[in-house]
Amino acid sequence: MSFALAVSIGNTRTQIGRIVDGVVQEFATVPSDSPTKALEQLVAWSKDVEKEDRIVLLASVRADTAKAMRSLVVDQIGAEIIELEQDLPVPIGRALDSETIVGVDRLLTAAAAWSELKQACIVVDVGTAVTVDFIDGEGIFQGGAIMPGTQAMLASLTDSADLLPSVDYLPPEGEPFGRNTTDAMLRGVHTAIHGGVWKLVENYALFYGGFPLVVATGGDAEAIFTDDELISRIVPDLTLRGCAVAYRTATEDMNS
């Protein structure tokens, strides 16, 4: 039995997972500015695993949190740390501009989606930023689009206009128009992301000549896309599944 822990540090949220035989068995989400909360669960998951068998797969888009997490993992778990894209490449083909650096989270979700679907697909990650990425029928990551996430849009409105209040995102309900300023802001942001994703998916499909499956992930994916006909499935642990794919692929290559 193979065992690994996965840590995916996002701008706002960190996901942690327990991987057994290349499959995510459990996962949890904690705030990215509280690495000690993630550590508590990682310690619990690793307590019955021999120290020499402890491996932590680390993927991060936040250098400060990643540095703190490395230190905590070494001190409290004593595990070998394997950093995705630094020590272990994400197994997904790429058709990008030379010298381009893509966020490891985008590569991991693409690798996970391709590994599970094995057909052209689009990954929508609704987090601090919203990314809409296209993987073609050969499993090549073609790139995509990035727009602000819900809270970033709301914050930009508040910062840009004196009369607009500070608002936390909640999915709007009821009538299609807001009858007060807060509701109007929420409805505008929700619809901007929802409509923007729809348009991007349509553009990708027209360019590709077929309508790919669309997979959504990220902290606000369910709030915006639950029961939406555009989305084939919502997979909250897609980034961690990408970590599992990378580790499983490397293990298989070593054993072949």
Give start-end residues of each CATH 3.30.420.40 domain in the chain: 3-83, 95-240
Centre a 10 Å sphere on the Cβ of residue 145 and count the other Cβ atoms it contains.
Answer: 16
Mean confidence (pLDDT) of the chain: 95
**Average pLDDT for 242-255:** 89
**Average pLDDT for 61-66:** 91
- Candidate CATH numbers 3.30.420.40, 3.30.470.20, 3.10.560.10, 3.60.15.10; the one for domain 3-83: 3.30.420.40
Look-up: residue for tokens 């690495």?
Answer: 35
Q: Is the pLDDT of residue 253 over 80?
A: no
**Average pLDDT for 201-205:** 98
Distance CA 126, CA 105 (A): 12
Which has the closest alpha carbon to 132: 214, 40, 73? Answer: 214
**Average pLDDT for 159-171:** 96
Residues in contact with 56: Cβ distance below 8 Å, sequence separation at least 6, in sequence order: 4, 5, 6, 7, 42, 73, 77, 79, 80, 81, 82
Distance CA 234, CA 3 (A): 26
Helix, strand, coil % over all residues of the chain, rounded to 5: 40, 25, 35
Band of pLDDT at residue 256, cut at 50, 70 and 90: low
Band of pLDDT at residue 251, cut at 50, 70 and 90: confident
Q: Is residue 56 within 8 Å of residue 82, measured between CB atoms?
A: yes
Supply the residues annotated as catalytic.
Answer: 105
Which has the closest alpha carbon to 32: 91, 84, 86, 105? Answer: 105
**Average pLDDT for 193-203:** 98
- Report strand pairing: 23-31 vs 3-9: unpaired
Q: Is the pLDDT of residue 192 over 70?
A: yes
Distance CA 171, CA 160 (A): 22
Q: Which two tokens stand for residue 195?
A: 């409509």
- Report strand pairing: 213-217 vs 233-234: parallel
- What pLDDT digit, counting tens, does each position of 125-162 carry? 999 999 999 999 999 999 999 999 999 999 999 999 99
Q: Is the pLDDT of residue 181 over 90?
A: yes
**Average pLDDT for 222-228:** 96
Task: Point out the least confidently predicted range of 75-79, 120-124, 133-137, 241-245.
Answer: 75-79
Which has the closest alpha carbon to 211: 195, 190, 223, 229? Answer: 229
- What pLDDT digit, counting tens, does each position of 23-54 carry? 999 999 999 988 888 999 999 999 999 988 89
Q: What CATH homologous superfamily does 95-240 map to?
A: ATPase, nucleotide binding domain (3.30.420.40)
- What pLDDT digit, counting tens, does each position of 97-115 carry? 998 989 999 999 999 999 9
Q: Is residue 190 within 8 Å of residue 172, measured between CB atoms?
A: yes
Q: Is the pLDDT of residue 252 over 70?
A: yes
